[in-house]
Amino acid sequence: MPALIRYDNLKAAVAKILFGRDRTENERFVTLRSHYGFDSFYCRPGIEGSHEKGGVEGEVGRFRRRHLVPVPNVADMAELNELLAAGDVIDDDRHIARRPVTVGQAAAVEAPSLRARPEEPFDSCALLSAKVDTKGRICVRQSFYSVPVGLARRDVAVRLGAQSFEVMADGNVVATHLRSLHKGTEDLVLDHYLEILARKPGAMPGSTALVQARASGVFGPAHERFWAEARHQLGDGAGTRALIGVLLLQRRMPARIVTAAMEAALGIGSVDPEVVAIEARRLEQRPPAPVIPIGAAAGEKRPPRASAATTSCWPGPASERHDEHVGDRRDGNDSDGNDSDGNQSDGDGGGHDRSGSRGCHRLGVPKPAPAHRARRGARPDAPGLPG
């Protein structure tokens, strides 16, 4: 990366020409300079700065006449960039005037004085906003592109790059398109209209999205055969809906797997989308999910299971003593083993209270409710009951 780059007041870099060499630079260009760490030098406008440009403009004309005449026929920007890169490689062996070294050799001598490029690439995308129309389209740089039809009449964000752009809604990427080379064109994706075509299957045969899908190869011969057989068996409307059900599978499965599943379903004479889905899952052959024991993922050891004798307080000897204790209290004995006259009883009640219910509380088990509280209609002034 050079430390200083000379510019001829191009619009991508200069927003406004001020006095002398002062310029109001484009915000995105300032971000680019800050990322790569180089300075910019601007030539004077008009004839005053013609001598400052060197042979740049003449070199651009020479390259165009040598490598771009006649006008090349390319499919997209990527192919055009490959063509330009191939022209640069050819020019590396060229001699300028009577210089003894080639262009490539001179570039190799200057290479050590260049700065290293940053490891992180520069995000050159411009952030735009667009309104989705009633046909599920947005207009970007005077060309129309489709988005999922459910976003109609909504505002979406666009990350516009040099060759492609992304459409975002609610923080998610909902569509990706290559930029069109012409103005006023329509780039429609059939998948964006499947929901509405399922409601109106009669619009499918003449839709522009279907025409473009056929031209791009997304809608191939296998789809045509499945659609024809489905309409033959089910009728036009139901057959088209069956095809749409198969196309929806391509949102979560690879297209080649779905195409092979359609061929397999046609082999057995079926046009059911569920049959195609089952066959697609079989062809995909996903590995089964591993079985992980409970607690193994966290590295925890499960505590040993306690025996019934330590966790249960009833039924058993403690429960029997509890019933005897309740009976003693009804007969006039208090919880300390004394009767209503102050005589000491056999002490069964106190023994139960120490070994039975208290033991249950120590083990974390709730204390069993006394039998007299579960009985309905018990008199509140019965002997031995709390007042």
CB 243 within 8 A of CB 223: yes
The amino acid occupying position 218 is V
Mean pLDDT of the chain: 81
Measured at the CA of 311, the angle between CA 309 and CA 315, to 5 degrees, comes to 65
Q: Where would I find the H helices in the chain?
A: 27-36, 56-67, 77-91, 103-110, 194-199, 208-216, 221-234, 236-249, 255-267, 273-284, 308-311, 317-330, 348-352, 358-362, 371-374
Distance, in Å, from the CA atom of 188 to the CA atom of 181, rounded to the nearest integer, reads 15
pLDDT over 90 (residue 245): yes
CB 239 within 8 A of CB 230: yes
Peptide bond into 121 cis (omega under 30): no
Band of residue 150 on the pLDDT scale cut at 50, 70, 90:
very high
Query: How many Cα atoms within 13 Å fall on the side-chain side of residue 59?
Result: 12
Q: What is the mean pLDDT of residues 291-300?
A: 64
Q: Residue 58: what pLDDT? A: 82
Say if pTM beats, i.e. exceeds, 0.85: no
Distance, in Å, from the CA atom of 249 to the CA atom of 262, rounded to the nearest integer, reads 11
pLDDT over 60 (residue 324): no
pLDDT over 80 (residue 220): yes
CB 138 within 8 A of CB 25: no
- DSSP line for 106-151: HHHHHGGGSPPPPSSPP--PEEEEEE--TTSEEEETTEEEE--GGG
Burial zone of 283 (CB within 10 Å; 0-12 exposed, 13-18 middle, 19+ buried): middle
Distance, in Å, from the CA atom of 300 to the CA atom of 218, rounded to the nearest integer, reads 51
Residue 97 carries which DSSP code? T
Band of residue 306 on the pLDDT scale cut at 50, 70, 90:
low
pLDDT over 50 (residue 318): no
Q: What is the mean pLDDT of residues 8-12?
A: 86
pLDDT over 60 (residue 356): no
Distance, in Å, from the CA atom of 58 to the CA atom of 80, rounded to the nearest integer, reads 21
Band of residue 288 on the pLDDT scale cut at 50, 70, 90:
low
The amino acid occupying position 234 is L
Distance, in Å, from the CA atom of 64 to the CA atom of 83, rounded to the nearest integer, reads 12
Q: What is the mean pLDDT of residues 259-280?
A: 94
Q: What is the mean pLDDT of residues 234-243?
A: 96
Q: What is the pLDDT of residues 22-67, one digit of tens each?
A: 899 988 899 999 999 999 988 888 777 777 777 777 888 899 999 9
